[in-house]
Amino acid sequence: MKLSHRLIVITSVLLSVFFIICVIENVLKNTDLTEGEDAVHGRQHFIFQRRFLNREETSKISAEASNNAMNVIPLPPKNTNKKNTTVKTTTVSTTKEPRDEFPDLFKYSTLSPNFRQYMEWPPYFRLPKYNPSLADVLKVKIRDNMTNWEKFHLQISKYYLYPEKSKVVEGLLHDLATKKIIGVEQLPGGTQIKLILTMEDGAKALFKPMRFPREVETLPNHFYFTDFERHVSEIASFHLDKLLGYRRTPPCVGRKVNISEEFYPLVEPDLHKTFFISPAGNVCFHGQCTYYCDTSHAICGDPHMLEGSLSIWLPPRNILERKPIRSPWRRSYNKRRKASWETDNYYCINQVKVNPPYDHGRRIYDLMDLVIFDYLTGNMDRHHYDEVFTFGNDSALIHLDHGRGFGRASYDEFSIILPLLQCCVIRLSTFNHLFSFHVGPKRLSDLMRESMAKDPVAPVLTEAHLEAMDRRVGRILDSIRSCVKVNGPAGVLLDDVLDYPYYLNQTIKIFPD
């Protein structure tokens, strides 16, 4: 081939490559990937407003459980092609809203003598009354000379981690707050430092240290997955779980420890070398973990004393067999991308309730309980839940890891409650608790304040966070009202009250209207 021919071929190839590059660049410019920072934020904000902030639209999204006789298709959103349409936001207004007493929901609560005429009776699903404990499974008798930690483990049952008004739990919390610490080790893994403490009676507990005072809130520009964990959130979550009647969160108590005397002499060498004295003269350490374990994110005493939370350690997995299950409403953990459930109004119907274990039994109701729980605490970091296998089918879930709750008292993240609006099912017992928290005689903030008053690090929560919980109770009831309007009470409320101890011996009469 002559030189002139070679030059022509090379020139043709180069021109073809250049043309292809120009075409690809032009296509990319017209996509969302290269629209620039303003375009990306603008589009995401539009989706966020449409899906989460306009409650008049999202509150209509509902469906009954797939194994129920009635299956209601969600109503289409209202026509928003109006000029000067105002979008509701979840940021709390400084103007105090008039309190809604929800008189239309009263007849569905057990405060009304004829509530059952609105329910499906008998309900299509009820839990068996037999509630075996770990002592029954292991065939071990609880003895008086056992420690509170051993008694607590053996009292764990199929439906609850501990019985209602358990004296063992009261004694266990006292032990965790006062017993001598004889062992300190770092919990491997995780993004933030956590310690496993061993007490003189053999009990073990998970220690989450205080990073900053409880008055410090999450910065508005921080994502949920970059926020620090709060020890007070673990303590308050235990009390809230108990007040809701769940009893699925391990007992937790606050404690102040002396880093120099109670930790430093007991730590392992790898943790020992991370201790130092800060420029302010405080004893600090940072441990070893994935993200926030360095000098700039150290845990410091004042100058030696450190406040933290102690959550009781559960039995080994070979005794209480369990494993973490990925939540179907797990977030994307990405600062640009949303999870599919955040943009699909029919997600619960088409993706969750058609697949086991959510298509039958108690699991979907357990998740709705957890959604309500997380909304009250403001916890967006719910990626897994723990399923127990020791007791067979229909065992209750275990609620763990609540450290990222109670971050912002003045803000209610509506996307947390979105699964309830998508599925529109809830236990009647859970609804009763929420309704009683709202109408009194004591509101949720009063009950939480009383429940946490005896904690060694009280006051656990600020008044702003307690008031926020009252506000969120009202917003949950408003979501339930929207579901009832679409599906009717029998399609939303699962009548399970007779499965609870208070109602076992009650004679409920049904009166006509």
What is the rounded distance in angstroms from the CA atom of residue 359 to the CA atom of residue 423? 12
Using CA atoms, how far residue 468 sits from 164, 443, 477, in Å, is 26, 12, 14
Secondary structure, 3-state, 463-511: HHHHHHHHHHHHHHHHHHHHHHHHHCHHHHEECCHHHCHHHHCCCCCCC
**Which residues lie below 8 Å from residue 344, measured CB to CB, with a gap of 6+?**
350, 351
**Can you tell me whether residue 119 is helix, strand or coil?**
coil
**Angle of CA points 137, 139, 142, to nearest 5°:** 105
59 is in an annotated binding site: no
Sign of the Cα torsion 244, 247, 249, 254 reads: positive
401 is in an annotated binding site: yes
229 is in an annotated binding site: yes
**Which residues lie below 8 Å from residue 271, measured CB to CB, with a gap of 6+?**
184, 185, 186, 285, 287, 288
Task: List the structure tokens of 54.
Answer: 């306009």
Q: Do 429 and 396 form a contact (C-beta atoms < 8 A)?
A: no
101 is in an annotated binding site: no
**Choice among 227, 366, 369, 381 that is catalytic:** 381
**Angle of CA points 349, 353, 359, to nearest 5°:** 150
Altogether, the residues listed in the chain come to a count of 513
312 is in an annotated binding site: yes
**Can you tell me whether residue 196 is helix, strand or coil?**
strand
**Can you tell me whether residue 67 is helix, strand or coil?**
coil
| Phi, psi angle pair for 463, to nearest 5° | -60, -30
314 is in an annotated binding site: yes
117 is in an annotated binding site: no
State yes or no: is 381 an active-site residue: yes
**Which residues lie below 8 Å from residue 72, measured CB to CB, with a gap of 6+?**
62, 63, 64, 486, 487, 491
Q: Do 275 and 284 form a contact (C-beta atoms < 8 A)?
A: yes
| Phi, psi angle pair for 270, to nearest 5° | -65, -35
Using CA atoms, how far residue 277 sits from 114, 263, 412, in Å, is 66, 15, 39
Which conformational region is residue 22 in: left (phi greater than 0), alpha (psi within -120 to 50 degrees), or beta? alpha
270 is in an annotated binding site: no
Active site residues per annotation: 381
Known binding positions: 192, 208, 229, 311-314, 401
Known binding positions for Mn(2+): 229, 401
Known binding positions for ATP: 192, 208, 229, 311-314, 401
